[in-house]
Amino acid sequence: HLTGEPIPLRAEAGVRLSSGSHNLEGPLTLRVTATAGESQYARIVDLVRTAQSSKAPIQRLADRYALWFTPLTLAACIVAYFLSHDPTRVLAVLVVATPCPLILAAPVAVVGGINRAARRQIIFRHGTALEQLGAVSVGVFDKTGTLTIGQPRVARVIAVPPFTESELLRLAAAVERGSSHLLARTLVDAATARGLPVGEAHHLVETPGQGIVGEVDERAVAVGGWAFISTRHPHAKAALAAVHPDGVGLRAYVAVEGRAAGIVEYADQIRPGLREFFSTLRRLGIHRTVLLSGDAQANAEGVARDLGIDEVRGDLTPEQKVAHIQALVKAGERVLMVGDGTNDAPALSSATVGIALASGSGGITAEAADAVLLADDPTRIAEAMAISRRTMRIARQSIWVGLGLSGVAMVVAAAGYIPPIAGAVLQELIDVAVILNALRSAGPIPKNPS
């Protein structure tokens, strides 16, 4: 959550660890070099506060319409009095010209939209976020935990003949069932998902942080890092090196009876349905997509390439993410930022609309976000945008209908055909019509977001 990297860091002498790090296995001794007030988390909190205080206020929908309503009403009163010199007509104009459509239409529609979104596990923290979401033009996304699952999974199994992928995974999983390593459960889950019979291993001996050996089907099986396998089984070293895949990644090497059996490669996985999601965003008016990640540039580029994201920046600090968001806002873009980690909080606060995923939306992340997705599914953002657009369309419709009817009533009242008491009743009827129409925003949204 703090760095945006999905793969565990190997803590060796001289490695700087962030406060809040989880020690996954084995004892270690560390030296504290700073107080809590100087920590990375404290700097992130300060960034959020600075971003929130410098964020330009957004004019609400009703405020924009109210700019001309009052002067127009006063002008109608002046004309009515100038033509008739009858104060009763002025009173009638004032009664029918109350700004109730402005006061009621937008808030009722927004509350209805927020209610509708909440039913879909999309929580808006305030109405301005709902108003602005449907008008965003640039979508900015974090990678780890947002577009990807955020946990290492088995990405590839490479077997060395005569071993097959299934046999390699079955044997390795049997040994890993007895391991305390973070990735052991992941390997076992991968074998189970393939329907492989994972048996029991005997005589297990684990070297924390390096590897584990055991006996499966009366064969000695070793699973571990490169140094662990190459040192214990030098005859397997050459064969494993020959099939060593290119690129940066996390791998477990497997040897059976001292012979090379293969490699299990781990990687963070892209969430399902994101290709269609990005296509939908473009139909909804987002003309530019950007990936900002604290993970390595190569990893970020791979995800961006798979999903068709326009721009990608990796190896970013929280400060650099904020600078990128602020540059987009200054260029006149309405920016949507989606993230899940603590390092995304300042960027969420700097964007026009910031949305946090529930998986990491505690503490400062939830505080910085304008909305939170309780369902850990970023594709629901398209649905949230559709709700926003429909809500604002209904709100504008309610305002125009209400003000239009009030405008007609003002003209009739100025001509002397509506007395003040009848005007008051008429205005109440207009208000009821406006409210009933605005409440439609709480209803179901169309199947195809638009």
Q: Which residues are catalytic?
A: 142
Q: How many angstroms separate the CA atoms of 41 and 77, rounded?
A: 59
Counts for the chain of helices (H) and strands (E), in that order: 16, 13
Complete DSSP assignment for 306-319: HHT-SEEE-S--HH
Half-sphere exposure of 113 (CA within 13 A, CB side): 32
Q: How many angstroms separate the CA atoms of 420 and 407, rounded?
A: 15
Nearest to 362 by CA among 381, 347, 336, 342: 342
CB 264 within 8 A of CB 254: yes
Contacts of 410 (CB under 8 A, 6+ apart): 73, 76, 93, 96, 97
264: left (phi over 0), alpha (psi -120 to 50) or beta: beta
Handedness of CA 357, 362, 366, 371 (dihedral sign): positive
Complete DSSP assignment for 352-372: SEEEEEGGG-STHHHHH-SEE
Q: What is the CA radius of gyration of the chain?
A: 31
CB neighbourhood size of 16 (10 A): 8
For residue 305, which amino acid is it? R
Nearest to 168 by CA among 202, 198, 204: 198
Write phi, then psi, for 217 (nearest 5 degrees).
Answer: 55, 40
CB neighbourhood size of 345 (10 A): 31
Q: How many angstroms separate the CA atoms of 196 and 194, rounded?
A: 6
What the block records as the tokens of 437 is 């129409």
